[in-house]
C-alpha cells in the first residue's frame, strides 16, 4: 500500500534497543520493539542496580539525540579506589591523566531496572510517548532469530544462548552482586581491587539504592566473598543480606553486522575493555544501529571510530603484566 511505513524490528528493550527504537521512530519508520520480559528493566534477577559510566556531557546526548541527563548523576573521582581494603587514591589513577594532570573524564551513575527512576524507564517513557510499538513477553527463540527480516536489530544484552544459535564466538561475563535500600539519596561510587578476586569489585549508589558488583570469571570462594563483604563494611559502613550470582555472554570482538542482522549494545561488543563499562556504549551503539538501517555507510564509519581501539586492548589483557588502566578518550568516548 502506498505510504505504508517501513517496519523495523528491534529485539531487546534495554538502553541500546530503546535508543535505537526512538531514533528510528523519529526517522519515520514503524518500529516494533520485542522484549522477553513483561516490562522494561532487564532480567529481574539482576536489578535494581546502579552503574558508573564515563559520559561526555552534553556530547553524548547531542550524539544520540536524546537528553538523558535526568537519569544520570555525576560522581566524584577522588579518594574512591581501595586496594585490599586500604585507600589508594581516586579513579584518576585508573583512567590515565592528560599532560595537565587531569584525566578529563567525568563519571556518572545511572540506575538500571524496572523502577520509575531507572534509565530503562526514562527511555521507555520517551519511546512510548513518541509512538514506538512494544511487544512484551515476546521471547525470540532460535528459529525466530534465524528467520528475522534483514535489518533486524539485536540488542539482547548478556542473554545466553543467542551466540550459540548464531554461531558467534563469545566469552563469559559473570560474577556476584548485592544491593541494599538506603535512606539517603547520596550519589557515590568506589572501586575495590585485591586478593579476594582475579577481577575487581565496585559499589555505586543513587536513588536510595546501594549496589555492589564483583566481577569474577572463575568461582570466588566463600572465604573471599566474606573478605570482600567485610572490606565493604569497614570502608563504607554498609552491608547486605546475601550475594546473588549473574552469568551472561558477550562477543569476543566488536561487530556491527552479523549475517543479515544489526548488532547493538553488548551484542555488538560495545563494552569498554578495561573495566567493562557498558551503559555509555549501549546508548552510542543504539544510535549507530539505527543509523545502520537508514545510512549504512555512515554507520560503519562511526562504529569503527568508537570501537577501533577495543581489539588491541583485549589483546593486551591476555599478556603477562597487564594492568587495568585506560584512557577512555583514545578508545571511544571522545565524542564532543
Phi first, then psi: what are they for 42, rounded to 5°? 80, -170
What pTM does this model have?
0.92
In total, the chain counts a number of residues equal to 336
Q: Indicate whether 141 belongs to any domain.
A: yes
Q: Is residue 134 classed as helix, strand or coil in its secondary structure?
A: strand
Query: In degrees, to the nearest 5, what angle opens at C-alpha 137 toward C-alphas 253 and 264?
Result: 20
Q: Indicate whether 2 belongs to any domain.
A: no
Q: Indicate whether 108 belongs to any domain.
A: yes
- pLDDT number for residue 3: 58
Q: Grid coordinates in use for 178?
A: 548485592
Angstrom distance (rounded) from CA 178 to CA 198: 19
Over 50: is that where the pLDDT of 336 sits?
A: no
Look up the domain containing 54 and give its range.
7-333
Digit-coded pLDDT (tens) for 132-169: 999 999 998 889 988 999 999 999 988 888 888 888 88
Q: Indicate whether 102 belongs to any domain.
A: yes
Angstrom distance (rounded) from CA 9 to CA 7: 7
Mean pLDDT of 12-16: 96
Q: Indicate whether 1 belongs to any domain.
A: no
Over 80: is that where the pLDDT of 105 sits?
A: no
- pLDDT number for residue 90: 75
Over 80: is that where the pLDDT of 102 sits?
A: no
Cβ atoms 46, 176 nearer than 8 A: no
- Between 64 and 277, name the one with better pLDDT: 64
Query: Which CATH number is 120's domain given?
Result: 3.50.50.60
Q: Indicate whether 62 belongs to any domain.
A: yes
Of 322, 324, 279, 319, whose CA–CA distance to 49 is shortest?
279
Q: Grid coordinates in use for 183?
A: 535512606
- pLDDT number for residue 112: 96
Over 50: is that where the pLDDT of 99 sits?
A: no
Over 70: is that where the pLDDT of 191 sits?
A: yes
Digit-coded pLDDT (tens) for 210-221: 999 998 878 899
Digit-coded pLDDT (tens) for 56-74: 888 899 999 999 999 999 9
What percentage of the chain exceeds 90 in pLDDT? 57
Structural domain total, the chain? 1
Q: Is residue 86 classed as helix, strand or coil in its secondary structure?
A: strand
Q: Indicate whether 12 belongs to any domain.
A: yes
Q: Which residues sit opposite 261 in a β-bridge?
A: 258
- pLDDT number for residue 326: 57
Residue found by looking up cell 569474577 in the block: 216
Angstrom distance (rounded) from CA 178 to CA 123: 25
R_g over Cα of the chain: 20
Amino acid at each position: 500500500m502506498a505510504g505504508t511505513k517501513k517496519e523495523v524490528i528491534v529485539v531487546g528493550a534495554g538502553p541500546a534497543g530503546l535508543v535505537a527504537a526512538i531514533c528510528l521512530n523519529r526517522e519515520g519508520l514503524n518500529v516494533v520493539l520485542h522484549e522477553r520480559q513483561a516490562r522494561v528493566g532487564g532480567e529481574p534477577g539482576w536489578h535494581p542496580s546502579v552503574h558508573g559510566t564515563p559520559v561526555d556531557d552534553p556530547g553524548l546526548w547531542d550524539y544520540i539525540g536524546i537528553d538523558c541527563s535526568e537519569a544520570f548523576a555525576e560522581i566524584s573521582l577522588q579518594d574512591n579506589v581501595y586496594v585490599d581494603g586500604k585507600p589508594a587514591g581516586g579513579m584518576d589513577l585508573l583512567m590515565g591523566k592528560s599532560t595537565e594532570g587531569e584525566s578529563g573524564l567525568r563519571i556518572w551513575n545511572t540506575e538500571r531496572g524496572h523502577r520509575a527512576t531507572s534509565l530503562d524507564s526514562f527511555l521507555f517513557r520517551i519511546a512510548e510517548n513518541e509512538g514506538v510499538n512494544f511487544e512484551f513477553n515476546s521471547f525470540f527463540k532460535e528459529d525466530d532469530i534465524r528467520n528475522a527480516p534483514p535489518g533486524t536489530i539485536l540488542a539482547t544484552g548478556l542473554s545466553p544462548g543467542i551466540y550459540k544459535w548464531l554461531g558467534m564466538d563469545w566469552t563469559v561475563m559473570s560474577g556476584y552482586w548485592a544491593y541494599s535500600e538506603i535512606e539517603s539519596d547520596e550519589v557515590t561510587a568506589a572501586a575495590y581491587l585485591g586478593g579476594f578476586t582475579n577481577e575487581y569489585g565496585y559499589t555505586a549508589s543513587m536513588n536510595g539504592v546501594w549496589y555492589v558488583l564483583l566481577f569474577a570469571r572463575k568461582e570466588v570462594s566463600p572465604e573471599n566473598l566474606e573478605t570482600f563483604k567485610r572490606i565493604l563494611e569497614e570502608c563504607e559502613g554498609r552491608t547486605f543480606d546475601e550475594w546473588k550470582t549473574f552469568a551472561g555472554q558477550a562477543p569476543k570482538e566488536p561487530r556491527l553486522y552479523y549475517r543479515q542482522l544489526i548488532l547493538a549494545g553488548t551484542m555488538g561488543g560495545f563494552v569498554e575493555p578495561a573495566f567493562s563499562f557498558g551503559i555509555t556504549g549501549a546508548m552510542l551503539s543504539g544510535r549507530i544501529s539505527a543509523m545502520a538501517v537508514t545510512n549504512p555507510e555512515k554507520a560503519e564509519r562511526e562504529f569503527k571510530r568508537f570501537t577501533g581501539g577495543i581489539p588491541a586492548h583485549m589483546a593486551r589483557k591476555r599478556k603477562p603484566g597487564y594492568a587495568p588502566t585506560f584512557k577512555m578518550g583514545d578508545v571511544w568516548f571522545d565524542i564532543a
